[in-house]
Amino acid sequence: MESKDKILDKIKKLLKLQSSAESLGNEGEAYAAANAVHRLLTAYNLTLGDIASDVNDRLNIIESEEFSYRSPYGSRWKRDLLALVTANNYCKAFVIPGRQHMQIVGQEDNVAVVKNLYTYLISSFTRLALRRRVEFDNLLLLEGQRLTDRGRKKFLHSYFVGAVAGLRENFKSHEPTSEENGLIICHNGAIKDFLDKKPNYIDQNFKGRESKESLMLEGVFYGQKDGRNISLNRQIQR
């Protein structure tokens, strides 16, 4: 198995690849990095297990800084997206009670990777949402119709809800290996021990209030399609 430093170096290169592919408009190439990062992250955490005999020595659990989940198109989608990314990368996400902020808790390097992936997905879905809205607006114009300002906002809100739903289906299509299941149990236990020692910690899940705003089916469809088509299976050649 490769050394810890070599695996982390590959992860960093993949994260840089996301930015360069995104700037060239190559979503397929950029999206593929998500699965490659996850596979390397699994290898990295297995390596941590090999080089330390004690769980507390090899799992340096931390909590990230707080960051907002506010969005002009509904805040729920950002919370759901972070929960999805953390769950698939050996971390947990929590809402800060009384504020529209959240945190990531997990092994230090895993938290760093989750933050990068989350930021990347927010950027990519936002860019794609605007593109899909223009595409849908153009289709309506051919029929002599057009989206109102309210309709455009509703489309974007619906797109983001659909994108997270599609991404969730994508993740579910890949069954975790026995090694990954073992890592999940190990990390969840270490995270629980870390949080149990925090006197002000409240087990605040991503419940919140569901938006009462109805969804635009076309927006949901576009979002689900993009979320499903994130190429989590493609191999990245370096």
Lowest mean pLDDT among 53-62, 111-120, 129-138: 53-62
The model's confidence at residue 142, banded by pLDDT at 50, 70 and 90, is: very high
pLDDT value at residue 184 = 78
Residue 237 lies in a domain: no
**Higher per-residue confidence, 91 vs 31:** 91
Give backbone dihedrals phi and psi of 7, rounded to 5 degrees, phi first: -65, -45
Q: Which residue has the higher pLDDT, 188 or 59?
A: 188
3-class DSSP state of 94: strand
67 has which bridge partners? Answer: 102
Q: Tell me, what's the pLDDT at 160?
A: 97
Greater pLDDT, 222 or 7 = 222
pLDDT for 54:
45
Residue 162 located in a structural domain: yes
Q: Which residues pair with 62 in a beta bridge?
A: 106
Residue pair 30/17 in contact by the 8 Å Cβ criterion: yes
Distance CA 44, CA 58 (A): 11
- Residue 91 in any domain: the answer is yes
Q: Is residue 117 part of a domain?
A: yes
For the beta carbon of residue 181, count every other beta carbon within 10 angstroms.
Answer: 11
In a domain, 74, yes or no: yes
For residues 36-64, give the mean pLDDT. 62
Residue 111 lies inside a defined structural domain of this protein: yes
Provide the whole-model pTM: 0.74
Provide the number of structural domains found in the chain: 1
Q: What is the pLDDT of residue 52?
A: 43
Q: How far apart are CA 67 and CA 51, in angstroms?
A: 33
Residue 95: which domain range? 4-228
For the cut 90, the answer to whether the pLDDT of residue 212 exceeds it is: no
pLDDT band at 53 (very low <50, low <70, confident <90, very high): very low
Confirm whether 236 is domain-assigned.
no
Q: Which of 62-71, 99-108, 193-202 has the lowest mean pLDDT?
A: 193-202
**Of residues 216 and 98, more confidently modeled:** 216
In a domain, 235, yes or no: no
- Burial level of 177, CB count in 10 A (0-12/13-18/19+)? exposed
Query: Got the DSSP string for 1-67?
Result: ---HHHHHHHHHHHHHHHHHHHHTT-HHHHHHHHHHHHHHHHHHHHHHHHH-SSHHHH--EEEPPPE
Give the integer Cα–Cα distance in Å for 31 and 203: 32
